[in-house]
Amino acid sequence: MRYLVLVINGPNLNLLGERAPELYGRATLRQIEAALRVRARQRETALVCMQSNHEGAIIDFLHAWRRRAQGLVINPGAFAHYSYAIREAIAAVRLPAVEVHLTDLAARPEPWRRVSVIRDVCVATVMGRGPRGYLDALDLLLDRLGAQPWYHPHLAISVGLARPRPAARGGVAAAGPHEPRQPAPSRRRRPW
């Protein structure tokens, strides 16, 4: 593997899939991490994933991996709104970081949720894309690092977090500019 990327999830993200599924979706953190690992392998990247409900554990993790990793994808959860300690840790380790949130913070009704104190130490922010946002964040980071593109026209590999799209002619779902054409969604119910 050419790259090593850290994936950090903050408080309450261990409850994904059961906590407010109407807001955060039904995908579990384990499913999101599995999809990230598939994408990472496609791009010659290894991932080290962690989740913690404790600010100090996240900071210790960043410090421990700072010399081995090339980048960071972080969903700080509620720590995004007030943790200057995590903000300073990201700045101190000097890894390119992409902040990801399942919901669009700017559209949330609570004013305190619209603030992210870590945004200005990150190279990009992805929000409001649901579980798919993690893949987008990883791709943004790896593009910045110069990794191989994940999509090769001769390979049609699905990572399992794409939202179903309406079928086009011939029973093939429409694909976005960076996604392979995939068969029409199955009738099997998925958690996301």
Considering its fold, how many domains does the chain have in total? 1
CATH at residue 37: 3.40.50.9100
* Residue 15 domain flag: yes
For residue 117, the model assigns a pLDDT of 96
Burial 96-110 (b: 16+ CB within 10 A, else e): bbbbbbbbebeeeee
Residue 163, domain member (yes or no):
no
Count helices and strands (H / E) in the chain. 5, 7
Domain that holds residue 8: 3-145
- Residues acting as catalytic residues: 24, 101
The pLDDT value recorded for residue 151 is: 66
80 token code pair: 């995004």
Q: What was the pLDDT predicted at 152?
A: 54
Per-residue pLDDT of the chain (192 residues; tens, 9 = 90+): 899 999 999 999 999 999 988 888 899 999 999 999 999 999 999 999 999 999 999 999 999 999 999 999 999 999 999 999 999 999 999 999 999 999 998 888 788 888 999 999 999 999 999 999 999 999 999 999 998 886 654 444 445 554 434 334 333 333 334 444 444 444 445 455
Residue 152 inside a domain? The answer is: no
Model pLDDT, residue 97: 98
pLDDT value of position 113: 81
